[in-house]
């Protein structure tokens, strides 16, 4: 059924949008941002801030763009004198009591009040006294502080907790100029998704204890990525300062996580900043390891693979990229292989009002990607195979003491592709330093088979390289005619040669929001009975 479109003119630009679209969303289609505070595309619109008032031709008064639907032939003026005068008045009222906290406020540089005042506010105030009467800071919960003096009462936080999280612990207390965001003295803002109120706050009123005073906005480098916390695959932005990850924030993707991420994923970044990293390839020489160059290390890796008689076992982390998992598996094609991926588990925590969005029980991002390239998830079965294996590849897995005992008792040669060198693996024949997901380009496949790219956010420590690069070099072999992948996109193309499920997709196709992988036969219009990712 064809969707009915209406054509409107906004600041002289014509745009056709579905019937029922609000003016504020129609303006976005025309490339025009209507200033706003209370409006958010994933929350109900109360039209309380009056910042989005626009002039609509033939309307008797200015209209709030966040709740006014477009109509055929409508003419809207966002930047008319009347609309700008109204917004200037709103900003002046907000600034009557707003403290001059910009030099110490974490939101400075990302503050919508700052932005709009600079854009179209008054040059000075007509008020000489500040009348706020609130305590400087209130503790709302495990990670959220509330600074009521900065609050502009947009109510985004209240609406998120009531309508999205469905845990109405916040409210607007008192009335008039004494109003503030309140919380019951018997309650805490400890919902598994509560950290989103900090992202939703347009000013510096709700702040994260974890990020407090870590960096100013202009000090941060921002990189589009994918959350490594669970199989949901929420889109995120990694914020780094001086090559240190200081914050993870949600990045909009309406098909995966809308505008939100859970607190578990938000806080799951400290492992990306570990200082005890492997920085050079190590080859065992008698009872100790000697640092070497990559050519020597890759030669040794080739010797171990070619010299393996019998089977091999791959023990891999679920945080490894699809490219790394696939090429490490393909590196051992001439050997019988048991490949398993580590899947830590926890309690599932859904976001009530958003279908198919939850912190998933599988606390690792790439379980589906691993399955598509031939890995199982039965970790114990993989460990039992060690007794008869000739080669063990540990791909950055977090090994327990019992796991290490299994490896120690195995007669197999051990190759560690890792970020950390545990003391218990000092018998490894070869140790190769690899990058974390923040230090490389790669992709994850979430639980809905959506493959999504993540991008390098910080530099690689020492001589560390992506695991897909190491495996690609081993597959290509030595010599000037060898053709190893130089980029993650080229590594992904090699996956398509082996596993048809990836053949119809490229890095360009994924874009910044990902693409659902189709059954190969379906993608080509054939039978639905074709199997995916079989070896």
Q: For the domain that residue 237 is a member of, what is the CATH number?
A: 3.30.70.20
Report yes or no on 533 lying in a domain: no
CA distance 30 to 65: 14
CB-CB contact of 172 with 154 (8 Å): no
Domain check: are 358 and 427 in the same one? yes
Asked if residue 399 belongs to a domain, the reply is: yes
> Among 217, 250, 273, where does a domain finish?
273
Q: 238, 256, 273 — which closes off a domain?
A: 273
266 and 292 co-located in one domain: no
Chain position carrying tokens 């607190």:
263
In a domain, 535, yes or no: no
Q: What is the mean pLDDT of each run of 10 residues along the chain (535 residues)?
A: 88 95 96 96 95 95 96 95 95 88 92 94 77 80 94 96 96 89 91 98 97 95 98 98 97 97 97 96 92 96 92 97 98 94 97 97 98 96 94 96 92 96 91 98 98 98 97 87 87 95 94 89 39 29
What local confidence, expressed as pLDDT, does residue 128 receive?
73
**Is the same domain home to 184 and 43?**
no
Q: Is the residue at 120 inside a domain?
A: no
Of the candidates 25, 44, 24, 34, the residue with the CA atom closest to the CA atom of residue 158:
44
Residues 356 and 457 in one domain: yes
Using DSSP, state whether 415 is helix, strand or coil: strand
List, as one string, the DSSP characters of 110-129: S-HHHHHHHHH--SS-S---
Neighbour count for residue 356 (Cβ, 10 Å):
12
Residue 497 lies in a domain: yes
Q: Do 61 and 139 fall into the same domain?
A: no
Residues 49, 160 within the same domain: no
CATH code (residue 367): 3.40.50.740
Number of folded domains that form the chain: 3
User: Are residues 324 and 226 part of one domain?
Assistant: no
CA-derived radius of gyration, the chain: 27
- The CA distance from 138 to 183, in Å, is 10
Query: 66, 94, 122: which is the final residue of a domain?
Result: 94
pLDDT at site 177: 80
Does residue 294 form part of some domain? yes
Residue appearing with tokens 């100013």: 216
What's the predicted TM-score (pTM) here? 0.93
Same domain, 246 and 298: no
Q: Are residues 377 and 499 in the same domain?
A: yes
Query: Is the residue at 506 inside a domain?
Result: yes
- Same domain, residue pair 467 and 358: yes
The pLDDT value recorded for residue 127 is 75
Any idea what the Cα angle at residue 493 is, between residues 487 and 497, rounded to 5°? 145
298 and 244 inside one domain: no
Contact call for residues 173 and 184 (beta carbons, < 8 A): no
Domain that holds residue 202: 131-273
| Burial of 125 from C-beta contacts in 10 A (0-12 / 13-18 / 19+) | exposed
């Amino acid at each position: 059924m064809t969707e009915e479109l209406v054509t409107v003119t906004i600041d002289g630009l014509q745009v056709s949008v579905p019937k029922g679209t609000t003016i504020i969303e129609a303006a976005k289609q025309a490339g025009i941002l209507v200033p706003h505070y209370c409006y958010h595309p994933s929350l109900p619109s109360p039209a309380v801030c009056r910042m989005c008032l626009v002039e609509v031709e033939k309307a008797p008064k200015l209209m709030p763009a966040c709740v006014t639907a477009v109509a055929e032939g409508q003419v809207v003026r966002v930047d008319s004198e009347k609309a700008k005068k109204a917004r200037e008045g709103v900003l002046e009222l907000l600034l009557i009591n707003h403290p001059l906290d910009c030099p110490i406020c974490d939101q400075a540089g990302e503050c919508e009040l700052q932005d709009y005042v600079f854009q179209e506010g008054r040059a000075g105030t007509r008020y000489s006294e500040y009348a706020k009467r609130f305590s400087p800071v209130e503790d709302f919960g495990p990670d959220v502080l509330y600074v009521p003096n900065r609050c502009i009462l947009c109510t985004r936080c209240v609406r998120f907790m009531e309508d999205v999280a469905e845990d109405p612990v916040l409210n607007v207390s008192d009335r008039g100029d004494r109003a503030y965001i309140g919380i019951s003295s018997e309650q805490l803002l400890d919902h598994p998704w509560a950290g989103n109120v900090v992202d939703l706050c347009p000013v510096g009123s709700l702040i994260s204890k974890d990020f407090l005073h870590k960096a100013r906005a202009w000090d941060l480098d921002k990189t589009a990525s994918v959350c490594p916390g669970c199989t949901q695959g929420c889109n995120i932005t990694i914020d780094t300062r001086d090559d240190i990850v200081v914050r993870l924030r949600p990045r909009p993707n309406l098909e995966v996580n809308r505008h939100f991420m859970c607190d578990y994923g938000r806080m799951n970044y400290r492992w990306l900043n570990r200082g005890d990293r492997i920085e050079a390839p190590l080859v065992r020489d008698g009872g100790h390891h000697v640092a070497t160059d990559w050519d020597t290390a890759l030669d040794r890796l080739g010797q171990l693979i070619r010299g393996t008689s019998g089977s091999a076992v791959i023990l891999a982390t679920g945080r490894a990229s699809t490219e790394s998992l696939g090429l490490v598996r393909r590196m051992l094609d001439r050997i019988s292989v048991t490949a398993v991926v580590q899947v830590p588990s926890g309690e599932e925590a859904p976001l009530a009002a958003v279908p198919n969005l939850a912190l998933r029980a599988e606390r690792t991002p790439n379980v589906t990607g691993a399955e598509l390239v031939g890995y199982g998830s039965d970790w114990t079965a993989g460990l039992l195979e060690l007794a008869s294996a000739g080669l063990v590849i540990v791909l950055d897995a977090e090994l327990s003491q019992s796991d290490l005992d299994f490896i120690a008792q195995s007669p197999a040669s051990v190759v560690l592709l890792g970020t950390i060198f545990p003391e218990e693996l000092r018998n490894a024949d070869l140790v190769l330093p690899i990058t974390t997901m923040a230090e490389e380009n790669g992709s994850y496949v979430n639980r809905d088979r959506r493959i999504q790219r993540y991008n390098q956010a910080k530099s690689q420590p020492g001589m560390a390289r992506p695991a897909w690069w190491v495996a690609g070099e081993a597959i290509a072999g030595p010599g000037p005619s060898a053709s190893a992948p130089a980029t993650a996109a080229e590594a992904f193309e090699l996956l398509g040669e082996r596993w048809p499920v990836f053949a119809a997709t490229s890095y360009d196709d994924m874009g910044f929001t990902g693409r659902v992988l189709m059954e190969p036969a379906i993608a080509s219009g054939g039978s639905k009975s074709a199997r995916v990712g079989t070896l």
